[in-house]
C-alpha cells in the first residue's frame, strides 16, 4: 500500500493524505443517528449521548497519553473547562434532538446551525468581521432550518419544536468546544493532545450521567453493541481520521468536506430508519448546504 501511494501521481497522494480521511470521518459521523435508533426502546437519549462521548472521551484521553497532561499543565484551564463543558452539553442536546425531531431533522439542524454560531462567536471573541457573504449564508441557513422544521412528515408538533431548539443548543456547543480547542492548539499543542484533554475532561461530567441513566442501555446486548459502536467508531476512529486529514487540508476545505455528514445522516434516516421528509424539508436541506458552502468558503 505504501509503495502504491508513493508511486501514485501527486494529486492522488494529496487526496489520500488529506481530503479522504476527512470524508471518511464525516461519513462515520453521519451514521450516529441511525446507529442510535437501534438502541433499546427504553434507553434514553441522555444515556446514548453520555456513552458516546463519555466513553469516547476516555478513549481519546488514553490515546493522547502524557501529551494530554501537558495541556492540563499549560495554564489554559479556563479555555479547557469551557470546552469540556461544551463537550458534555453537545451529545446530550444532539441525541435528545434526534429522539424528539427525528434523525434527519435533528442532525441537519445541529450541524446546519454550527457555522452561523461559529461566525458570531468569532465576531464576539476574536473580532472577525461578518461580511455580506456571511449575512447571505446566515439568511439562507435560517430559511433552511425553518423549512426543515415545518416540512417533516408529521408536521410541526411540540416534540419537533423542542427537538429543533435542542439541535440549536447542540450546534452552539459544538462550535464552542471547537473554538476552544483551536485556541489551545494555536498555543503550540497538538490536536491529539488537546482533544484528549478536552474530551477526557468532558467525560468527567458525562460518565456520571451515564451511570444515572444508562441502565436500560447497558443491560442489553443490543444496547452494549450500540454504545460500543458509537464510542469507538464515530468518536474514537473518526476523530483520529479527521485529525490526520487536517494535517494536509485547510480548515475551510475540511469544513466543506464535512458537509457529507448531514447528507449521510439524512439518507440513512430515510433508507434505514424509515423516516420521511416532505419536499419543503428537502428544500431546507439543500438551502443549508448552500449556506454552509458560503460560510466555509467566505475567507
DSSP letters spanning 117-166: HHHHHIIIII-----HHHHHHHHHHHHHHHHHHH-BTT-S-HHHHHHHHH
How many separate helices (H) and strands (E) can be counted in the chain?
A: 17, 0
Say if residue 15's pLDDT is above 70: no
Q: Which of 261, 262, 278 is nearest to 26 (CA)?
A: 261
- Please state which of the ranges 139-148, 160-169, 186-195, 247-256 shows the lowest mean pLDDT: 247-256
Average pLDDT of the chain to the nearest whole number: 81
Q: Are 105 and 160 in contact (CB under 8 A)?
A: yes
Q: Which of 54-63, 114-123, 225-234 has the lowest mean pLDDT?
A: 114-123
pLDDT digits over 188-229, tens only?
888 788 889 999 999 999 999 999 999 999 999 999 999 999
Percentage of residues in the chain with pLDDT exceeding 90? Answer: 30
Tell me the pLDDT band of 73, cut-offs 50, 70 and 90.
confident
Distance CA 150, CA 148 (A): 6
Average pLDDT over residues 45-58: 93
d(CA 238, CA 169): 22
Amino acid at each position: 500500500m505504501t509503495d502504491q501511494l508513493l508511486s501514485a501521481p501527486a494529486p492522488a497522494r494529496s487526496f489520500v493524505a488529506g481530503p479522504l480521511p476527512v470524508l471518511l470521518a464525516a461519513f462515520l459521523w453521519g451514521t450516529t443517528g441511525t446507529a442510535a435508533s437501534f438502541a433499546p426502546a427504553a434507553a434514553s437519549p441522555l444515556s446514548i449521548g453520555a456513552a458516546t462521548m463519555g466513553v469516547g472521551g476516555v478513549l481519546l484521553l488514553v490515546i493522547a497519553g502524557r501529551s494530554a497532561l501537558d495541556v492540563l499543565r499549560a495554564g489554559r484551564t479556563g479555555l479547557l473547562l469551557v470546552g469540556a463543558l461544551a463537550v458534555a452539553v453537545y451529545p446530550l442536546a444532539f441525541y435528545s434532538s434526534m429522539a424528539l425531531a427525528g434523525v434527519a431533522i435533528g442532525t441537519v439542524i445541529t450541524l446546519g446551525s454550527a457555522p452561523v454560531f461559529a461566525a458570531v462567536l468569532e465576531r464576539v471573541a476574536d473580532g472577525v468581521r461578518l461580511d455580506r457573504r456571511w449575512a447571505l449564508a446566515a439568511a439562507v441557513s435560517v430559511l433552511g432550518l425553518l423549512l426543515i422544521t415545518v416540512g417533516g412528515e408529521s408536521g410541526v408538533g411540540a416534540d419537533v419544536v423542542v427537538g429543533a431548539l435542542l439541535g440549536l443548543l447542540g450546534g452552539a456547543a459544538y462550535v464552542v468546544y471547537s473554538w476552544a480547542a483551536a485556541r489551545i492548539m494555536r498555543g503550540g499543542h497538538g490536536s491529539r493532545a488537546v482533544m484528549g484533554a478536552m474530551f477526557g475532561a468532558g467525560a468527567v461530567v458525562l460518565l456520571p450521567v451515564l451511570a444515572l441513566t444508562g441502565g436500560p442501555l447497558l443491560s442489553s446486548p443490543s444496547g452494549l453493541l450500540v454504545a460500543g459502536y458509537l464510542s469507538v467508531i464515530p468518536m474514537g476512529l473518526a476523530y483520529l481520521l479527521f485529525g490526520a486529514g487536517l494535517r494536509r487540508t485547510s480548515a475551510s476545505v475540511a469544513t466543506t468536506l464535512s458537509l457529507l455528514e448531514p447528507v449521510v445522516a439524512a439518507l440513512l434516516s430515510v433508507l434505514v430508519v424509515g423516516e420521511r421528509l416532505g419536499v419543503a424539508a428537502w428544500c431546507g436541506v439543500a438551502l443549508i448546504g448552500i449556506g454552509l458552502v458560503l460560510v466555509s468558503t467566505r475567507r
